[in-house]
Amino acid sequence: MLSTTFSSMRQLGLLLAFTTLMACDDSSQRTTTPPEPEYLPIAQPQVSLPPDAGSINLLALNFDLEDVGYRQSEYFLEGTASAFTNVNSLLADGAWEAEPSEQATYKTRIVVYRPIDPDEFSGTVIVEWLNVTAGFETPPSWGTGHLEMRRGGAVWVGVSAQYVGIEGSENGLLPLHLKAVNPERYGSLVHPGDSYSYDIFSQVVQALREPADIDPLDGLIPQRLIAYGESQSAGRLTAYVNALQPLYNSFDGYMIHSRGGFSAPLSQAPLPDIPAPEATRIRTDVNVPVMTFQTETDVVFLGFTPARQEDTDMIRTWEVAGTAHGDIYTFVTGRDDTVGDPRFASVIEENSVLGFISCDQPINNGPHHYVFNTAVRALDAWVTSGELPPPSPRLEINDDGSDYLYDETGNALGGIRTPYVDAPSAILRGEPNTGAGFCRLFGTTKLLSAAEMATRYVDESGYVEAVKDATEAAVNEGFLLREDADAIIAWAPQQWRNQVTDSP
């Protein structure tokens, strides 16, 4: 009886299959649409205005934003944030699975820079994870690329995502964390610890995309949100891309700016430690563009080499010759750069960062900001239209991985080339400097002597022509913007005069 039943069921199944096939005129027309991925909802934070006590605290610029058509504002966000735990093992390939765990209340702040004229808004919102390595908050991606961010009409949002920015650190460079600088304004802020920082960052996105009673963008409608983070914040974003993007689909793109090989932990004390592998790559199934921007300091000296990976349609890595993790433009001169004046193309020897960090050798003064400007525009185009950035050559490294290979001048071989290394007026390296603790991140600059310049270029016209040729090559390869290239070329005669004509 049982076998008769199975036989009847088999015959019925064959009949149904035959009937289905006969109903299809052309099986080649059949398509299978994969199901849309299901993402977790992001909690809606409460947005409020800070107390009317003092001014916004963020060491970002020396000029008034209103002079360049922007304005700044500050908002407090509060709610309940989740920490996360791992579902699978956190391996170097970045294919992590995580889920929400413990919850805690928080209250933090964001700083918003936006075009005054709504018609100037491009639709792009750049959300930067503020850096707290110094024991207080700095915006190094803004500091490096603010000129292009403003030229492009983006809104920039700086997020106080981590505990140290609010409460400070015993090892802080200066007591400039928010509660120390202005306890009356920032005293109500509460941070439960960095295990919750990823969800706090996500909830900022929710407040921007779907504002409630108070709109941090003041009526501007974001078309795309791109996350930025530099150095330790880049390590946080690496973990975020691998563990949180698959859960929430929070961002439309990522700029992982100047990272070592590491990723930040998924969870840390006082919650259980969930560390990441020492060399973590970006997961290859990421669903949005991820650009990793690397200096010489990062690739060898901060250990990124074992985390290198092949480019894909969603992953690009740029490595830039002649650059350092932190440099003069990002921390000193760029704070005055309103419109991209050619003088910001100058190469000088300067040992100090604003008088409170002094290094034994002059700090790197290379092309970091100019190539980063290009990366800012390229990532925006990639997210907006799908236009892929050009692939970057890799910096050339010696056999044991301890250093770069250098040309006859002393500049690194390989990587993205610019006139700073191909028509050099200096030896520009990302190697660790000495002096104060942070100097190891600042690289070095050694100007060529007047005699060396004359031997290489003969005279001013020879130098200017060499700079022009190298600059045009970088533009043609897609690594310098036309307006920045024009500034570099315009400055070249003065660079020669500073080093040769006016030298002692």
Closest CA to 415 of 307, 254, 297: 297
Q: Is the pLDDT of residue 8 over 80?
A: no
The pLDDT value given to residue 436: 85
In this structure, what are the phi and psi dihedrals at residue 142, rounded to the nearest 5 degrees?
-60, -45
Q: How far is CA 446 from CA 273, 325, 410, in A?
A: 43, 17, 10
User: pLDDT digits over 457-499, tens only?
Assistant: 999 999 999 999 999 999 999 999 999 999 999 999 999 999 9
User: pLDDT digits over 265-297, tens only?
Assistant: 999 999 999 999 999 999 999 999 999 999 999
Return the bridge partners of 230, or none: 257
Residue type, 151: R
Residue type, 481: L
Strands 155-159 and 98-115: antiparallel
Closest CA to 335 of 24, 60, 86: 60
Task: Say how far apart CA 67 and CA 247 lie, in whole Å.
Answer: 41
Task: Say how far apart CA 160 and CA 170 lie, in whole Å.
Answer: 18
User: pLDDT digits over 399-446, tens only?
Assistant: 999 999 999 999 999 999 999 999 999 999 999 999 988 999 999 999
Q: Is the pLDDT of residue 21 over 50?
A: no
Task: Compute the Cα dihedral for 256, 257, 262, 264 and give only its sign.
Answer: negative
Instruction: Sketch the domain layout of the chain as residue ranges.
Output: 40-288, 349-504
User: pLDDT digits over 226-247, tens only?
Assistant: 999 999 999 999 999 999 999 9
- The predicted model gives 328-342 an average pLDDT of 97
Distance, C-alpha 467 to centroid of its chain: 28
Helical packing angle, 460-476 and 450-457, nearest 10°: 70
Closest CA to 266 of 129, 96, 132: 96
Q: How far is CA 433 from CA 297, 350, 357, 410, 438, in A?
A: 10, 12, 12, 16, 9
Q: Is 112 exposed, middle or buried (0-12, 13-18, 19+ CB in 10 A)?
A: buried
Q: How far is CA 366 from CA 102, 324, 489, in A?
A: 45, 8, 15
Residue 278 CB neighbours (<10 A) = 13
Pseudo-torsion of CA 379, 235, 353, 488, nearest 10°?
-20
User: pLDDT digits over 339-379, tens only?
Assistant: 999 999 999 999 999 888 999 999 999 999 999 999 999 99
Longest dimension (CA), the chain: 109
Give pTM, 2 decimals.
Answer: 0.93
Task: Say how far apart CA 411 and CA 452 lie, in whole Å.
Answer: 15
Residue 237 CB neighbours (<10 A) = 31
The pLDDT value given to residue 503: 66
